[in-house]
Structure 1
Amino acid sequence: MVVKRRNQIKNNSVLNTDSYDRRKYNSLKEKSNELKIIEKKASMPNFDALMGDIWASLFKTSPELCDKASKGLEGNRAMIERIMSDEFYEKIRPSTKLDSLMSALSSIRFSEKVSDWIKEEQKTNEEMKEKMERLQEEQQSKGKGKAERVRNAEQALQQALEDAVNQNGEGIASAFQKACDEATEQKKKVEDLFGYNAGNGKPQLANVPFEEQLKLAELIKRKPNLKKIADWAGRFKVIARKKQKSKHKESLSRNGITVGNDIENMLPAELLMYSSKLTKLDFLRRYAEQQTLMYDRKGKEQLGKGPIVVCLDESGSMKKMKEISKGFTLALMMVAKMQKRDFAIVSFSSAAYSTEYPKGKISSVELGKFASSFLDGGTEFKKPLNLVQSIISKSTYSKADIIFITDGSASLDEYTVKNFNAFKDKKEAKMLSLIIGENENDMALKKVSDKVVKITNFTDDAAFEAFEI
């Protein structure tokens, strides 16, 4: 239902916007390359004001239409009134209201569709076509009174837009719903890439600056392969969270006797004392004072552990698994973030390169680079293992975890094997190697790994052992 507000229109807005709203939208436009491009390509006067009102209708707590539109804003008002009166608008509002990212993405996607719709109307709608041609003529004309003639032509075009919206309201409503659906999917991909909180599984976007979120969302739109990586990362992160949660429960072992009043961990002897009339009062006194005997259950300490290093094969044969392997790697990065451990990726083929991410944190720019890069070429194991030693050596902590992922084979000389194993022992590091496919030549990795697991692909249950580090 559209609520009308009795106030004067200011700054070309058809809504009850104020200086705070205008500053916030202008800040969004400064950060969004997409909004700038849409505005630049728009073929409608006051389209920038329409984009601002689309955003305000989604972001504001209580957006309200002004009584009537000023001259030159009739089409804008008709457009905003149409979407605010739509049933879907009421459904989507809880997810856009005061949500900077969702309101921004929905505004961008809908502004884009509205701009395309207007251009199509200007080609097929006779009234719109005529008014557009007149405006173009006046803009190219010369002589006294040009400014007024252009202004009148713009107002006439806005009135034609109002008529077009009123005649084709269903098309606008359909475009709005599609835009919001696309924005919802975009936001989900951003959440998948930036990760989720370990405890409740909620997105970690609250810890990420809005500009970083928006940059990544726009990057996902431009790079289809990043969208695929986000899909896989989202799936693998769900599995990784479950593995870590299960591991935490299993690590809660009985490590001796302590005192307290946790009934679940209470010694059987204490429960017998409660059941006896002779000792029941003594038990209740000690229970109230938290002095009853109970098992001491303590989880294994996660702090103070060395980095997680993923050696990811980017040789030519891995190209067909590029997106899924990178999604798998990002899920491992989430584990590092959960455990507050440094994270590093060693990409290798016949060459090897490393990138380090303190405490498992990655920026939108870094995600873009990671998604678009791929080495190609042959396979060599010695160079990535040398980089692993360099990375772990810089850490003040021991107990590093190395995940080596490959579908190929390579030889390792005895000196490299001996040197690497001695290094692992010194730093208390562990190495799990995942060998993908039918490759039977795993002798080199067996010599330097604590465990070698053969998998058909990344969705094999055996591959998920990597998430238990």
Structure 2
Amino acid sequence: MKRTPPQKQWLARPLKTIAWQSVGDRVPYWVETDSYDAEAFAHLCRDLPSLRAAEATGQKFLPHFSALLFDLYALLYKATLVFRPPEQVLPSAFFHKALLDAIVDAPAFEALRLQTVLDERQSGLAALTLGERLLGLLKSERLVNRAQMLDFWALHHQETELRRIEEEARSARELVEQFPEARRSHLAPLSERLHREAAVLQRNLAWRARDAEKAARELLERQGSHLHAEVGRTAVIVHDAQQQLQQWPGHWGGTSGDSVGLQIELGKKLAENPRLQKLARLVGRMRTHSWALRRRVYERASEETHAVVQGSDWSRLLPCELVALRHPWRRREFRRRLLEGSLLQYELRGQQRRSRGPMVVCLDVSSSMSGDKEIWAKAIALTLLDIAQRQRRLFRAICFSGADQPLFEIDLNPRQRYESEPHRVLEFASYFPGGSTDFQKPLDAAVATLQRAEYRKGDIVFITDGECAVDPAWLQQFRDHKQRLEFRLLSVLIDVGTANTNVLRQFSDRVTSVRQLTAESGADLFLAL
């Protein structure tokens, strides 16, 4: 004898009239939760714009769609699943139970729950992904057609009307009880009429609820395969998001110190965007290479004694000053001069320190940069952002294409301690409008940036793959600005081929031509900055 799966037992029961409970005492939720679960989901809704957007869109198709999203979250988060009996749930939410049962019955559901149980981030990501997948099925009418959706809404409106009449009947009964026995006979007909109306609506709603239960059971038998497939895709997305978050640089967001909503948003974008995945891997390799390269250069650096000056550096004090520490009378004088910085010490001279001013990176995002060149160029820019953060330098990116396209200017580490803002980094990494190429507009914007007080003494990095004619009058004006502001301009020409570097050399201090898009190609640039 074939045994009915446990998750289908509720739908397999024969139809019967549901023991009626006041609509005001019912809820649209099927999964038993506590206040902590509700608060955690409320935080997700506040921090996650995608979840709010899915909730707003879903409310146009099904009543109580926000409750369905919460049930999805609880279904994946709770270690022990307990469902409410049907008499405690609003009839307009009976369709949700069919969806939940179909999800639980999916072959990939257990694998999905292994990744989400008691994990707010993974549960939130899975609930958001499943909610968006359900929206797609509802829009395409592969689960229910428009007439059935209207039936659910009619059921919801009837519940609202019944709730109003029940409240009026309750108020009328309380009002009658407040009057003396002699006067109650005049108000009794009003109370009885309201109770009769409520009874009629309850009976009609019970029949509609039974029809909704039947429709849900038929839906599970007919369309369960669609939901099973979506559960499998969701399990893959959740797993990929976890892997990509581990590879994403932690100081750009997605760590445990950030809000759960931000981690979910970042993980979802990384899992769904192969370009961002490739960019994250390349940035990781470039960061490792740049750290090792700069460490080797600093280890080889040497210094020699140049002069004797005044200061307070213990490691360079003259022996005659250190002798004072052994004399009890001169020790206090030594401390005073140490605080004043007037002790004699050696002045060392070695390799001159490179500029540590702000960075302004102009990045070509024209159509010719599509593909690997775009990813490599952005990896160079984000590696420079990593260097800027470690050296406590401001970093501004200016993305440009044609003269008719507006510039995309964004400060990537404007916060205190020069920390980057994750949503800005993602916005920069995802931006690619295409179009033609114009050099003058982004360079004018870069000069305007360097004229601001916080960006003075900065450097400009210009990354492009092509050539563009510039006006001689503009070129002379740019050189005047360069001399007055005393900044350097380093250009990187990507995948040069037969491209001519003459235009870049007219306004650049240094031009690096890269023929192979590898992590080691930007070594000269990393050392120069």
TM-score interval w.r.t. the shorter chain? 0.5 to 0.7
- 1:56 corresponds in structure 2 to 74
256, 259, 265: which is aligned to 1:206?
256
Distance 1:181 1:419, change over 3 A: same
**SS of corresponding position for 1:206:** coil
Amino acid at match of 1:238: G
- 1:102 corresponds in structure 2 to 122
Taking the TM superposition and a 5 Å limit, the aligned residue runs for 1:11-30 are: 11-29=27-45
- 1:238 corresponds in structure 2 to 284
Distance 1:412 1:431, change over 3 A: farther
Taking the TM superposition and a 5 Å limit, the aligned residue runs for 1:184-263 are: 184-185=239-240, 195-197=248-250, 204-213=254-263, 227=273, 229-251=275-297, 253=299
Distance 1:337 1:447, change over 3 A: same
**SS of corresponding position for 2:55:** helix
Distance 1:37 1:325, change over 3 A: farther
Amino acid at match of 2:280: G
376, 388, 391: which is aligned to 2:446?
388
* Residues 15 and 63 in structure 1, CA contact (< 8 A), matched pair in contact too: no
- 1:113 corresponds in structure 2 to 133
| Separation (CA, whole Å) in 1 of partners of 2:147 and 2:397 | 59
- 2:356 corresponds in structure 1 to 305
Amino acid at match of 2:464: I
| Separation (CA, whole Å) in 2 of partners of 1:380 and 1:406 | 12
| Separation (CA, whole Å) in 1 of partners of 2:301 and 2:512 | 31
- What do the CA deviations read for 1:221-240 (whole angstroms, capped 9, x no partner)? 9xx9xx35524422331222
40, 58, 64: which is aligned to 2:59?
40
Amino acid at match of 2:358: P
* Residues 308 and 336 in structure 1, CA contact (< 8 A), matched pair in contact too: yes
- 1:269 corresponds in structure 2 to none
**SS of corresponding position for 2:31:** coil
* Residues 493 and 513 in structure 2, CA contact (< 8 A), matched pair in contact too: yes
- 2:168 corresponds in structure 1 to none
Distance 1:134 1:400, change over 3 A: closer
The Cα shift of 1:360 comes to 6.3
Distance 1:366 1:461, change over 3 A: closer
The Cα shift of 1:310 comes to 1.3
Taking the TM superposition and a 5 Å limit, the aligned residue runs for 1:299-338 are: 305-315=356-366, 317-318=368-369, 324=375, 327-328=378-379, 329-338=381-390
| Separation (CA, whole Å) in 2 of partners of 1:395 and 1:39 | 46
| Separation (CA, whole Å) in 1 of partners of 2:352 and 2:246 | 28
* Residues 306 and 392 in structure 1, CA contact (< 8 A), matched pair in contact too: no
- Percent of matched pairs sharing the same residue: 17
Amino acid at match of 2:72: I
* Residues 2 and 65 in structure 1, CA contact (< 8 A), matched pair in contact too: no
1:177 pairs with 2:236? no
* Residues 285 and 519 in structure 2, CA contact (< 8 A), matched pair in contact too: no
Q: Which ranges of structure 2 fall in alignment gaps of 5 or more residues? A: 8-24, 163-196, 304-350
| Separation (CA, whole Å) in 1 of partners of 2:296 and 2:69 | 53
| Separation (CA, whole Å) in 2 of partners of 1:111 and 1:140 | 24
The Cα shift of 1:191 comes to 7.7
The Cα shift of 1:136 comes to 7.0
The Cα shift of 1:157 comes to 1.4
Distance 1:404 1:151, change over 3 A: same
Distance 1:335 1:187, change over 3 A: farther
Distance 1:431 1:187, change over 3 A: same
- What do the CA deviations read for 1:429-469 (whole angstroms, capped 9, x no partner)? 46242244334421232354443232357558535654564
Amino acid at match of 2:144: Q
Q: Which ranges of structure 1 fall in alignment gaps of 5 or more residues? A: 4-8, 124-128, 258-299
**SS of corresponding position for 2:208:** helix
- What do the CA deviations read for 1:86-134 (whole angstroms, capped 9, x no partner)? 66444334543454443222112212334555743435xxxxx998786
| Separation (CA, whole Å) in 2 of partners of 1:302 and 1:82 | 65
| Separation (CA, whole Å) in 1 of partners of 2:300 and 2:522 | 30
* Residues 490 and 510 in structure 2, CA contact (< 8 A), matched pair in contact too: yes
The Cα shift of 1:252 comes to 5.3
Question: Bigger radius of gyration, 1 or 2?
Answer: 2
| Separation (CA, whole Å) in 2 of partners of 1:420 and 1:109 | 51
| Separation (CA, whole Å) in 2 of partners of 1:377 and 1:114 | 40
- 2:393 corresponds in structure 1 to 341
The Cα shift of 1:53 comes to 1.4
- 2:306 corresponds in structure 1 to none
Taking the TM superposition and a 5 Å limit, the aligned residue runs for 1:125-136 are: none
How many residues in Structure 1 have an aligned counterpart in Structure 2?
Answer: 403
Distance 1:16 1:189, change over 3 A: same
* Residues 253 and 263 in structure 2, CA contact (< 8 A), matched pair in contact too: no
Amino acid at match of 1:111: G
Distance 1:453 1:326, change over 3 A: closer
- What do the CA deviations read for 1:192-230 (whole angstroms, capped 9, x no partner)? 8xx5137xxx96443444454556678889xx9xx3552
More displaced stretch, 99-108 vs 180-189: 180-189
* Residues 434 and 463 in structure 1, CA contact (< 8 A), matched pair in contact too: no
- What do the CA deviations read for 1:345-381 (whole angstroms, capped 9, x no partner)? 2334565844333236245378547745647444334
- What do the CA deviations read for 1:290-333 (whole angstroms, capped 9, x no partner)? xxxxxxxxxx9999922222112345654677853674344543
Amino acid at match of 1:197: G
- 2:423 corresponds in structure 1 to 364
**SS of corresponding position for 2:279:** helix
1:122 pairs with 2:147? no
Amino acid at match of 2:250: N
The Cα shift of 1:186 comes to 5.7
Amino acid at match of 2:33: T
| Separation (CA, whole Å) in 2 of partners of 1:168 and 1:136 | 21
Distance 1:332 1:301, change over 3 A: same
**SS of corresponding position for 1:253:** helix
| Separation (CA, whole Å) in 2 of partners of 1:301 and 1:76 | 69
The Cα shift of 1:135 comes to 5.7
| Separation (CA, whole Å) in 2 of partners of 1:2 and 1:340 | 59
**Structural RMSD (CA):** 4.8
The Cα shift of 1:17 comes to 0.4
| Separation (CA, whole Å) in 2 of partners of 1:345 and 1:64 | 49
Distance 1:252 1:33, change over 3 A: same
Distance 1:416 1:372, change over 3 A: same
